[in-house]
Structure 1
Amino acid sequence: MDIPALLTSAGMNIGISVGMFSLYSILRKQPLNVRVYFGQRVAQGRTRSDDICIQKFVPSASWILKAWQATEEDIFASGGIDAVVFLRIVVFSIRIFAIATILCTFLVLPLNYFGQGMQQAEDTTPMDLLTIGNVGEGSRWLWAHCFTLYVISACACTLLYFEYKNIAKMRMEQVNRFPARPSNFTVLVRGIPWSSVESYSESVGKFFSNYYASSYISHQIVYRFGAVQQLMEDAEKMYKVMTTVPGTDKQCCEPNSEKCGLCGGKSKSFKMVGRESGNELTSRNMDDELREKESEAALVFFRSRYDALVVAHTIQSADPMLWVTELAPEPRDVYWQNLCVPYNLLWIRKISVFIASIVFSILFLLPTTFVQGLTKIQHLQYAFPFLKRVSDKNYINLITGYLPSLVLTVFLTIVPPLMMLFSTLEGAVSRSVRKRSACVKVLIFMFWNVYFSNILSGSWIERMGKLTVTSPKDLATLLAELIPKQASFFMTYVMTSGWTGLSCELLQPVPLIGNWLFKCVLMKEEDFVRPVTFSFHTEVTRVLLFGLLGFTFCILAPLILPFLLIYFCFAFLVYRNQIMNVYYVKYQTDGSYWPLAHNATIFSLILTQVVAGILFGMKKSSSASTSTIPLIICTALFNVFCKNRFLPLFKNRAIQVAIEMDRDDEKTGKLQEIVEKLPEGYNQFELCEDPTTQPKQEEEPKSKKDSNESLKDLEIEKPGSPSGEEQPSPLKLEPEPEPKIVSIN
């Protein structure tokens, strides 16, 4: 890709982004779009619409100022700890790539440009002169690249350490802040053995009353639940009700009357079943029906947090596939449909999903190769002569510059929903685990299909024109040789998926158009916009993918760094605005996205160091190549240290903390009160019937310690602020007395 194509793509994306930002600043002021752009504030009863005035139709940047002035406590009050952690990932990216941009722009980029190592190459483009490929073999300037790599790696590891430490502390404080969570006392039991003598519920009660008599309180069996099954059961109930009407024999219609069309009688004599007879029939068959719906899973309640932790982390039977225990998710976080899946079938589901993911990744190579073919039409002219007509047109810069990244972005829109479906089929028992699993799958897919596949397919297209074949020993150096040549394509991808993607995130086109059609065309009074949660599995992966691009290209093709830095700065403002105004919190992972971000960053660093070491060797600078080996080892050791020091805090709960909390609650008399309310929290039929009902607010501890710390105790006096776990839904919200009114202008 040459410079005119890059400038064409930049002009298209800048124009679209500026236009959508300006349109958003106007549309957000219109009363019709309040629920689109202020869904969370509407849920909290904190918005108002001013009278129509000229200012509502003039673009403004007031939302940028409000997003900038918001504190971390405000973000926590609106989006919870996961929103804070996500913005910490963005802030980390801003810090490290600001350092990388300064170093590489003023040190590495001039050395690349004046390297004069590609003067005699035939297919050299002006963009190639700005990469490390232009540095001559054996040049002393390669030590500047090596020094820059050391500085960036050291700064990245330092920032990662402090962020990991702070977020781990924040997670511990989040657990201590809400000690009355039902999940602290509840254990999920799966793989309950079947018995022909007793039901699953009786087996659970007998087992835990026998082995945990002093700590076991009660249990709640999980019933099979599903939309198709519910329709079948409703139809069966209706059939029974219609065929067993009290006071009738075999005929339901009186003789000598008009026929009703069902049994030969008259329509006037058809007898409807009353509410009393239906209730009587339901109560008579309730026990039998519930017993038939029992699944091999149950929620078991214990008297203390310590007892629940001990049961959750121990093997209950000699057969590890029976009586499998783990800490239960929060009530609003439970994914009830997957609790009904037999535990011994989960491994089949996981293998099937793994195979399906591999097949989908292989099939996605087709659009990836097509995208690279658009960027390298000149190289395809040898195999397809008719493409010469296209390459001679005036719009070739649009085809090779803007169109490839747009096509790839459109194809990638199907990836997050599909990976969410795969995570559901795997059998995740909570919505937060399902979304995090989808985030991992999307991240792996993006790293392979967006990064590696584009580099390899682009290499294949280039070499196909020259009819050259690489030997197996060249495969190790192929990646290092071709990464700098793909820098221009990834620049356009950052602008299209990043800059334009942020403007689409801000504008919310699908809810906006749907709300307009619903209200203005169909003339409906009810609201079209439903409550939505933040798409961590989409946005986290985009930020980490851009982080991979930034690290791998920082010394190879530094020109991409300013584009990335602009994206991260705008992402910081856009996501803060969306978290405070649009998205509501239903469940939390308590910051579990940070270990994923940490691992992705370490992978990016090590990949950068390996590629740089290979390139230094190809440039016949053995000393610079050898110097990267200690850097790789130190980065790997740093990762091991962080895993041993901080990762256990994200996987397990400390027994010491649980015992201290139990003792404090027992002294104050709160423990018994908490235990008595446990069965009320996990009401499967209520939660499955309407999963968007307003959750109960958790009670915060009255005693506050270290109030001067930033997030030690987030005492935020805001109406409708989430309790660190859940956010009230807009559907069934009762307004609080005298809410604080905030204008949407």
Structure 2
Amino acid sequence: MIVLALLTSVGINSALCVLFFVLYSLLRRQPGNFEVYLPRLLAEKGIDRRRYLGLWRLVPNPGWLKIAWELSEEELLSTSGLDAVVFTRIIIFSLRVFSFARIIGLFVLFPINCVGTQLAAFDITIISSETLDLFTISNVNNGSKWLWIHCSAVYLVTAFVCLLLYHEYNYICSKRIAYFYSSKPQPHQFTILARGIPVPPGSSISETVDSFFKEYHPSTYLCHMVIHRKNTCRDLFSQMKRLCKRLLHVHLEPDKENSTCDGCFGLFPRGIDLEIPLGDVEGNLRMEHTDASVAPQDIYSVIGLRASKVMLTRTSLLQLDAKSLIISGIIVGSRYGAAIVSSLQQSEKPTEWVTEQAPEPNDVYWPFFHSSFLQRWTSKELTLSAKENVLDFPIIKVISEIITGYLPNLILPLALKMVPPVMLFLSSIQGYISYSEIQRSACYKFLWFIIWNVFFANVLSGSVLNQLSFLLDLKSIPTHLAIGVPAQASFFIAYVVTLGWTSTLSELFRVIQFIQSLLQKCRCCCRCKRSKTDEFEVPDMAFHREIPRILFFGLLGITYFFLAPLILPFLLSYFFLSYIIFKNQFINVYAPKCETAGKFWPIVHNSTIFSLVLMHAIALGIFTLKKVPLASTLIFPLPLLTLLFNEYCRKRFLPNFTAYSAQTLIKKDREDGNDPHMPEFFDKLITAYKDPALSQVQFLDSNGQRTPNHLDNHAASLLSHA
């Protein structure tokens, strides 16, 4: 790539940045776009749209930039949780690293690379036609003493990154403990899940669980709950929710009830008889439980519906069969007791009485929540095997060659957008019982996917990549990297400018959501008017997608800072944009669904250590090719020292991210011992892990109002999340 092409790309993307910022500052002020750009504020505080109908809303207002910039860490912690704070700390960490590297790279290494004559003479008068390779370490003469400056820079940046990593690990660890102390009692802190319960003949699950824990954990055991799960019941209730929503929509718009056409361009008829489908669903629900006994709770089901009114009757929901009752929630009296019970092997047979800490109720992933140890283990192994086979499929290799060989800057961004959902799906069928575990697993998968398929696929030749022969000869790895990495400097600089800036701007503008909003408003495409019973769902932050992107750009910066320092200002621009934009999104868009209390940070630490070791391997090969053997010898201890530092951090900090210490748990238990609300908390704990498919529901009457819930105080709204 020549300098003129880079300048053109920078100019185009800079203009796009300004355009998107202006459009966002304008569109976010329009009442019709509040669901797109201000969903969190709309859901939490409520916004009077009539106040925003003046002509002043047609003038862009950049005030949101100041609000996002001035948002303090304490405010972000109180509104979005510790995960949001950790996410912003990742960006701040990157800004600090590359601000330091920029001083060395641009003011020291960049001039040295320019004055080299290894490739060609540099002509300042025709800089626009020069190639970017003239600004890389490849242009420094072989055996030049100036290469010692590059060697010293590698040492300095490595030391700075390790010191900063230690500081951040220690800081986030302390914030995690402080966050735990300041939090209110949570159901998952006092609940243990027990699987593989051996039920003797003639005994029930409840009797077995109760007798076992009274005998072996009498000091901590309080009570238990058998957690019901029936996939067929869940599917039937999902169908009922959809059908009820459609009927209520027709009922609340009687003027359109007799319309002959509806849907996209009027191709689908409106006259749909909903009574027959609902009758089928209700009949299937009855048949599903005809061979069981009566359950202790009832669920309301719709057995008769008319366009003029909604009729409700109370129907006993029969108890699930014993095969679905394979998990029990054990409630203990203290967090310390929960930690002891969950960490010990309960039975002489390791596959029986398997215990683990329960996730947050909002964090439960129900499809695997009731699975046995063997089912989850089998799912994990099959998923890993399927992933390897899919990535090894010939079509994937052909697509990879097209992406990396022909149109990388056009096809690659589009292809990478499809990867996070795939990784999330693979993680969801891997046996995890919580959404947070699924997100962290998908985060790992996506991170290593882009490292391999974007970085190494471009750096290494196709034959080496496919045969993986370079991994069989460890001595050849630095040589391969030293040849391939500098050669792709121009590609990755363009990658940061195009994909990095564009992805961040698309996050701000929310392009897909904005287009969906326009289509919903377009009556020629969809004539379904949004009824007052519809509720939009506030999105949560896709950490599994954004964290790997940030870490990958961090890898590019660490590996290229001494090879091609020109990449640093563009990386800093990317991180600065990310810092402003994501803080704004935390304020206006994303609301936390669950909390991991900073468990994403070990992923950041491990990725940074990998980036440092990769940089050392490249430097080792570079100084060997440049005929500076003494510099190569001095570089050799760096990866060993870095890995030793990593091992120390693992021993020092990682256990606090796996589980809280006994000291922390006992202190928190003693603080709550004086809380007068704890008895009330334990009373509600017994229903904390109730399957949504088995929750009692309520409907709307003919006037669109919710029916009085006089039969069950814990009944949930069927349409609240429709």
Letter in 2 for 1:429: I
Conservation of the 8 A alpha-carbon contact between 2:194 and 2:354:
yes
User: What residue ranges of structure 1 are gaps of 5+ in the alignment?
Assistant: 246-273, 375-402, 462-469, 691-728, 734-745
In the TM superposition, what is the alpha-carbon distance from 1:208 to its structure 2 partner? 1.5
Report what 1:343 is aligned to.
373
AA aligned to 1:633 is L
Q: Per-residue CA shift, 1:464-509, capped at 9, x if unaligned? A: xxxxxx9997554112111011111112221222111111111112
**Other-structure match for 1:607:** 614
- CA shift in 2, pair 1:686/1:305, >3 Å: farther
| Other structure's SS at 1:405 match | helix
Counterpart secondary structure, 1:299 = strand
Pairwise CA distance, 1:675: 2.8
Cα distance per residue 1:618-645 (max 9 Å; x no partner): 1111121111123222211211111111
Partner of 1:352: 382
- Larger mean CA deviation between 301-310 and 415-424 belongs to 301-310
Q: Partner of 1:192: helix, strand, or coil?
A: coil
Contact 1:225/1:336 (8 A) holds in 2: no
**Distance (whole Å) between structure 2 residues aligned to residue 584 and residue 512 of structure 1:** 19
> Is structure 2 residue 408 aligned with structure 1 residue 404?
yes
**1:414 maps onto 2:418 in alignment:** yes
1:198 and 2:243 aligned: no
Say yes or no: does 1:369 pair with 2:371: no
Aligned to 1:510: 512
Partners of 1:3 and 1:127 within 8 A in 2 = yes
Local SS of the residue matching 1:206: helix
What is the aligned partner in structure 1 of residue 490 from structure 2? 488
Counterpart of 2:283, as a letter, is M
Question: 1:562 aligns to what?
Answer: 569
Q: Distance in 2 between matches of 1:662 and 1:217?
A: 15
**Counterpart of 1:353 in 2: which secondary structure?**
helix
| Aligned positions of 1:71-470 closer than 5 A | 71-119=72-120, 126-193=131-198, 195-226=200-231, 230-231=235-236, 238=283, 279=315, 282=316, 286=318, 289-292=319-322, 294-363=324-393, 364-374=396-406, 404-457=408-461
CA distance in 1, matches of 2:16, 2:637: 45
Q: Find the counterpart in structure 2 of residue 651 from structure 1.
A: 658
Following the alignment from structure 1 to structure 2, what is the Cα–Cα distance between the partners of residues 157 and 688? Answer: 51
Q: Which residue of structure 1 aligns with residue 302 of structure 2?
A: none
After TM superposition, give the deviation of residue 221 of structure 1 in Å. Answer: 1.7
Maintained 8 Å contact 1:514/1:528: no
- Structure 2: how far apart are the matches of 1:493 and 1:240? 54
CA contact (8 A) 1:185 1:303 kept: yes
Root mean square deviation, CA, Å = 3.1
* 1:12 to partner: Cα distance: 3.5
Stretch of structure 1 that moved more, 311-320 or 1-10? 1-10
Change (3 A) 1:372 1:182: closer
1:47 alignment partner, SS class: coil
* Alpha-carbon shift at residue 602 of structure 1 (Å): 0.8
Query: Identity percentage over the alignment?
Result: 39
Q: Is the 8 A contact 2:114 2:134 kept in 1?
A: yes
| 2:557–2:567 contact (8 Å) kept in structure 1 | yes
Q: Cα 1:686–1:660, aligned 2, differ >3 Å: closer, same or farther?
A: farther
Q: Deviations over 1:57-101 (max 9, x none)?
A: 233422211111111122123311100000000000011101111
Residues 236, 28 of structure 1: alpha-carbon distance in 2 compared, 3 angstrom cutoff: closer
Find the counterpart in structure 1 of residue 66 from structure 2: 65
Is the alpha carbon distance of 1:46 and 1:165 closer, same or farther for their aligned partners in structure 2, counting shifts above 3 Å?
A: farther
Decide whether the 8 Å contact of 1:365 with 1:449 is kept in 2: no
Distance 1:192 1:20, change over 3 A: same
SS at match of 1:223: coil
Instruction: Give me the whole-angstrom Cα distance separating, in 2, the residues matched to 1:177 and 1:450.
Output: 42
CA distance in 1, matches of 2:288, 2:63: 66
**Structure 1 pair 117/27, CA: closer, same or farther in 2 (3 Å)?**
same
C-alpha distance in structure 2 between counterparts of 1:179 and 1:53, whole Å: 43
Q: Structure 1: how far apart are the matches of 2:380 and 2:473?
A: 37
Question: Secondary structure of the equivalent of 1:534?
Answer: coil
Deviation at 1:36, TM superposition (A): 1.2
Distance in 2 (CA, whole Å) between partners of 1:373 and 1:574 is 32
Q: Identify which of 571, 581, 601 aligns with 1:574.
A: 581
- Rate the CA distance shift 1:632–1:296 in 2: closer, same or farther, 3 A: same
Q: Residue type of the partner of 2:153? A: T
Greater RCO between the two (CA within 8 Å, min separation 6)?
1
2:639 corresponds to: 632
3-state secondary structure, aligned to 1:187: strand
Q: Give CA-to-partner distance per residue, 1:10-29, whole Å, 9 cap, x none.
A: 34433333322221111001
User: Cα 1:194–1:134, aligned 2, differ >3 Å: closer, same or farther?
Assistant: farther
Match of 1:14? 14
Q: 2: CA distance between counterparts of 1:491 and 1:135? A: 20
Q: Is the 8 A contact 1:368 1:408 kept in 2?
A: no
Distance 2:518 2:289 in 1: 49
Q: Which residue identity lines up with residue 368 of structure 1 in the other structure?
A: S
Q: Is 2:526 the partner of 1:524?
A: no
Question: Which residue number in structure 2 is paired with residue 722 of structure 1?
Answer: none
Within 1, Cα distance between the matches of 2:623 and 2:66? 46
User: 2:404, 2:457 within 8 Å by CA — same for their partners in 1?
Assistant: no
**Structure 2 stretches of 5 or more lacking a match?**
123-128, 241-279, 291-310, 466-471, 698-716
Q: Distance in 1 between matches of 2:634 and 2:695?
A: 59
- What pairs up with 1:718-737 in 2 under 5 angstroms? none
CA shift, 1:370, in A, is: 1.3
Secondary structure, aligned partner of 1:217: strand
CA contact 1:193–1:296 (8 Å) conserved in 2: no
Q: Distance in 2 between matches of 1:688 and 1:439?
A: 32
Q: What is the number of residues matched between the two proteins?
A: 622
Does the Cα contact within 8 Å between 2:230 and 2:320 map onto a contact in 1?
A: no
SS of structure 1 residue aligned to 2:203: coil
- The 3-state SS of whatever aligns with 1:677 is helix
**Please, which moves more after superposition, 672-681 or 530-539?**
672-681
Q: Distance in 2 between matches of 1:34 and 1:664?
A: 42
- Determine if contact 2:409/2:498 at 8 Å carries over to the other structure: yes
Worse-superposed segment, 677-686 or 145-154: 677-686
Say whether 1:547 aligns with 2:558. no
In the TM superposition, residue 173 of structure 1 has moved relative to its aligned partner by: 1.0
Which range moved further: 176-185 or 668-677?
668-677
Secondary structure at 2:116 match in 1: coil
Alignment TM-score, normalising by the size of structure 1:
0.78
1:238 is paired with a residue of what secondary structure? helix
SS in 1 for 2:320: helix
- Write the deviation string for residues 381-424 of structure 1: whole angstroms up to 9, x where unpaired: xxxxxxxxxxxxxxxxxxxxxx5223101011111101111111
Q: Matched residues in 2 for 1:455 and 1:654: separation?
A: 44
User: d(CA) in 1 for partners of 2:145 and 2:478?
Assistant: 24
Deviation at residue 303 of structure 1 after TM alignment: 1.5
Distance 1:219 1:568 in 2: 48
What SS is found at the alignment partner of 1:531? Answer: coil
The equivalent of 1:501 in structure 2 is 503
Give the partner amino acid of 1:436.
R
Residues in 2 aligned to 1:98 and 1:241: alpha-carbon distance in whole angstroms: 66
> Contact between 1:515 and 1:528, CA under 8 Å: does it hold in 2?
no
